[in-house]
């Protein structure tokens, strides 16, 4: 439909503007007041603060938000339930566990003279661990969320919640086993803070997120069919198992990369797709790219809000706290609405 093309064009334009606006807004606020025009004119230290710290951080938040929102949109289609989300389903938890285990392995090898620990503690292995953990968690949740041969969304959500508690327990245990310095590094990572990653880490994470979101956009017409249910999708010509496996993989990769960059940032994949769906409608060919862009803008703004809100306390602000603060009540509100009739059949 030409109306769909128009919606897609409008949604993408609005999404790009939102990302640019959010990055600009986020870059102009912080502990140290700076002048953007001075920074762009090359005046120090404004220039270093803007281009060396704030813009990279905002872009990092954008990458994380983009990955989480796209993954949430895809998981909601797979589960046919608007409550599905990487954090709630335990996919983020699996990624955190995978990354933590790699970091722990790195710490235990750190004493060796070969430098194996340093290599393993670097960005690629931790990201790989996070992606593998996310994938395993997805397979586990969707495998155990079945009654007989049928995927039961409520059961899958419950499995995800239980898996989250399990992961939290294991990670607590890991923190007690590693040296205090490693434990605090782990804590700071997992709390969901957008830090100042090295260029290599950020580039790796951004590439992974871009590939995964690109795959989800390519699969978006098939996601529409998946929302109909397995048998209907199959009778409309979809190879359900193969497409579902591809969506699992892409959503897990996006989540894993986001967790590797920023730890556990919850509810972005719940709030953003929901609001975007209300505006652009349920067609995933518009919804997936629009949610990815607005997810990016959302997390950039949430991170800016975190930095402002926590400034009086004089502490490093985790954006995960802000999204949890917004997302928890939002989840409960959605749960009530879903029970009220609209949600799943």
Partner 1 sequence: MTAPAPEPRWPDPIVEARGASFAYGAAPALRDVSFSARAGEFVGLLGPNGAGKSTLVRLVAGLLAPAAGTVRLAGLDPFAAPRRTVARVCALVPQEPRIAWPFTVREAVMMGRAPRQGLLAMPSRFDRGAVEGALAACDLVHLADRRLDALSGGERRRVFFARALAQEPRVLLLDEPTAFLDLGHQVAAMHMATVAARGGLCVVAVLHDLNLAAAACDRVVVLSGGRVVAEGAPAAVLTADRVREVWGVPVWRGENGATGAAVVLPALERTP
Q: Which residues bind partner 1 (CB under 8 A)?
A: 1, 77, 80-81, 218, 220-221, 224-225, 227-229, 231-232, 234-240, 281-283, 285, 342-345
Nearer to partner 1, 113 or 341 (CB): 341
The two structure tokens encoding residue 81:
């339930």
| Distance of closest approach, residue 20 Cβ to partner 1, in angstroms | 26
| Distance of closest approach, residue 233 Cβ to partner 1, in angstroms | 9
3-state helix, strand, coil in the chain (%, to 5): 75, 0, 20
Nearer to partner 1, 23 or 77 (CB): 77
Q: What is the DSSP string of 154-214?
A: HHHHHHHHHHHHHHHHHHHHHHHHS-HHHHHHHHHHHTT------HHHHHHHHHHHHHHHH
| Distance of closest approach, residue 229 Cβ to partner 1, in angstroms | 5
Nearer to partner 1, 232 or 316 (CB): 232
Across-strand partners of 146?
151
Cα gap 100→175, rounded to integer Å: 9
Nearer to partner 1, 194 or 247 (CB): 247
Nearer to partner 1, 283 or 325 (CB): 283
Cα gap 95→132, rounded to integer Å: 7
| Distance of closest approach, residue 37 Cβ to partner 1, in angstroms | 43
| Distance of closest approach, residue 244 Cβ to partner 1, in angstroms | 13
| Distance of closest approach, residue 329 Cβ to partner 1, in angstroms | 24
Cα gap 164→162, rounded to integer Å: 5
Nearer to partner 1, 1 or 176 (CB): 1
The two structure tokens encoding residue 320:
């995960």
Q: What is the DSSP string of 218-262?
A: HTHHHHHHHTT-HHHHHHTT--HHHHHHHHHHHHHHHHHHHHHHH
Nearer to partner 1, 175 or 285 (CB): 285
Cα gap 302→293, rounded to integer Å: 14
For the chain, the straight-line distance linking the first and the last C-alpha, in angstroms and rounded, comes to 28
| Distance of closest approach, residue 8 Cβ to partner 1, in angstroms | 10
């Amino acid at each position: 439909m030409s109306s769909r093309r128009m919606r897609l064009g409008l949604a993408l334009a609005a999404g790009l503007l939102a990302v640019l606006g959010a990055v600009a807004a986020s870059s102009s606020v912080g502990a140290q007041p700076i002048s953007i025009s001075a920074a762009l004119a090359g005046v120090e230290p404004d220039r270093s603060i803007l281009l060396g710290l704030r813009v990279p951080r905002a872009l990092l938040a954008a990458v994380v938000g983009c990955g989480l929102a796209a993954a949430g949109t895809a998981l909601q289609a797979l589960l046919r339930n608007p409550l599905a989300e990487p954090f709630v389903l335990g996919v983020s938890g699996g990624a955190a566990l995978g990354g933590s285990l790699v970091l722990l392995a790195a710490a235990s090898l750190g004493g060796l003279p070969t430098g194996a620990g340093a290599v393993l503690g670097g960005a690629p292995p931790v990201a790989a661990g996070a992606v593998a953990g996310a994938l395993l968690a997805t397979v586990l949740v969707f495998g155990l969320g079945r009654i007989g041969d049928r995927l039961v969304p409520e059961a899958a959500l419950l499995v995800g919640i239980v898996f989250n508690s399990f992961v939290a327990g294991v990670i607590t245990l890991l923190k007690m086993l590693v040296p205090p310095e490693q434990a605090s590094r782990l804590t700071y990572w997992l709390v969901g803070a957008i830090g100042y990653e090295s260029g290599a880490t950020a580039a790796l994470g951004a590439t992974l997120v871009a590939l995964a979101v690109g795959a989800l956009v390519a699969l978006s017409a098939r996601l529409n069919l998946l929302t109909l249910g397995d048998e209907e999708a199959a009778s409309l010509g979809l190879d359900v198992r193969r497409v579902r496996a591809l969506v699992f993989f892409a959503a897990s990769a996006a989540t894993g990369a986001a967790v590797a960059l920023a730890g556990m940032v919850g509810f972005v994949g719940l709030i953003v797709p929901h609001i975007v769906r209300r505006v652009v409608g349920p067609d995933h060919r518009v919804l997936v790219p629009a949610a990815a862009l607005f997810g990016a803008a959302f997390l950039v703004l949430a991170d800016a809000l975190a930095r402002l809100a926590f400034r009086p306390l004089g502490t490093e602000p985790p954006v995960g706290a802000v999204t949890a603060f917004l997302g928890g009540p939002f989840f409960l509100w959605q749960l009530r609405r879903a029970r009220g009739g609209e949600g799943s059949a």
